[in-house]
Amino acid sequence: QVQLVQSGAEVKKPGASVKLSCKASGYTFSNYYIHWVRQAPGQGLEWMGVIDPSGGDTTYAQVFQGTVSMTRETSTTTVYMELSSLRSDDTALYFCARVSAGFDAFDIWGQGTMVIVSS
């Protein structure tokens, strides 16, 4: 079935970087954009950016410019999101999500990856 499976939880120190993965299966990888959305504990959803798995083009939310990088590996149908210069307020659950065909709605979500930033 169509699914996105994300990598496991991470614990990092302030100032470090973290690279999360999101493996797609059950559909044609290159046909659907993948977005990243995060959710701090007890808070709402925050859009981080998007990658086109076909050509690798990316667009990032302004607040993440300079600290986030999204890449993809077509051979393994995997998308990666790297966040650098981590701070304690980057502690959150990070989701990858696929955009549906024809609409800008996120129709398939990964299970989420918890990132804890603590000294």
Partner 1 sequence: QSVLTQPPSVSGAPGQRVTISCSGSNSNIGAGFDVHWYQQLPGTAPKLLIYGNDNRPSGVPDRFSGSKSGTSASLAMTGLQAEDEGDYYCQSFDSSLTAHVFGSGTKVNVL
CB of 104 to partner 1, least distance (A): 6
Structure tokens at 79: 């998308």
61 interacts with partner 1 by CB under 8 A: yes
From 24, 35, 79, 86, residue interacting with partner 1 (rule: CB under 8 A): 35
53 interacts with partner 1 by CB under 8 A: no
110 interacts with partner 1 by CB under 8 A: yes
52 interacts with partner 1 by CB under 8 A: no
Buried b (16+ CB within 10 A) or exposed e, 5-26: ebbeebebeeeeebebbbbbee
27 interacts with partner 1 by CB under 8 A: no
From 1, 41, 55, 62, residue interacting with partner 1 (rule: CB under 8 A): 62
From 12, 21, 58, 109, residue interacting with partner 1 (rule: CB under 8 A): 109
**3 state DSSP class of 113:** strand
* Whole-angstrom distance, CA of residue 22 vs CA of residue 65: 21
**3 state DSSP class of 59:** strand
Q: Alpha-carbon torsion 50, 91, 65, 69, what sign?
A: negative
What are the residues binding partner 1 (CB under 8 A)?
35, 37, 44-47, 50, 59, 61-62, 95, 97, 100, 103-107, 109-112
